[in-house]
Amino acid sequence: MFRNQQFGTEKYFKKMRKIINNIQTNFNLFFLKENNFQKRYVDELVFLREKIREKKNWKFADVIRKYLDEKGTFVFDTKDGSVTNHVPEKYFENKPQGITKRQFFEKKLQEELKAERMFDAWLYSTLQSGKKKKSNK
């Protein structure tokens, strides 16, 4: 849909802003009936956001990112490109009030990374102590 368009013109960005606004205002009418939002439009919005970031239009890229956040699709920008995580609504059942879905997801990611580092440290120390026991024999 968007991949054949020319990026970079202000007219095109205005058109994309209008499309995003229409998507937001017509969400209940269209997407809930389709119930296919994730499959049909997320990849296009992620691709569009990457192209917009290449053109350094940070505000519009943030609008798309926030919209995707609301739908449970989190885009994280790294030096190697963007990383996209699709998270089902069920994941947020225990989310405390007062924080956004993104904040909750980032907190859970940090907890998982910490647990992974602790496991790696335990595994390394176990392997090292096994080597010492073999060398002492």
**Span 58-100, pLDDT tens digits:** 899 899 999 888 888 899 888 888 888 888 888 888 889 999 9
Domain ranges for the chain: 1-86, 93-137
Of all helices (H) and strands (E), which one includes residue 132? helix 101-136
Greatest mean pLDDT among 7-11, 34-38, 114-118, 133-137 lies in 114-118
Distance CA 24, CA 21 (A): 5
pTM for the whole structure: 0.59
Q: Find tokens 């989310």 and name the residue.
A: 95
Which residues does 19 contact at the CB level (< 8 Å), separation at least 6? none
* pLDDT tens digits, one per residue of 11-40: 766 776 777 766 665 554 444 444 455 556
- What is the dihedral sign for C-alpha 46, 35, 87, 39? negative
Average pLDDT over residues 121-135: 81
With the C-alpha atoms ordered 5, 10, 15, 17, is the resulting torsion angle positive or negative?
A: positive
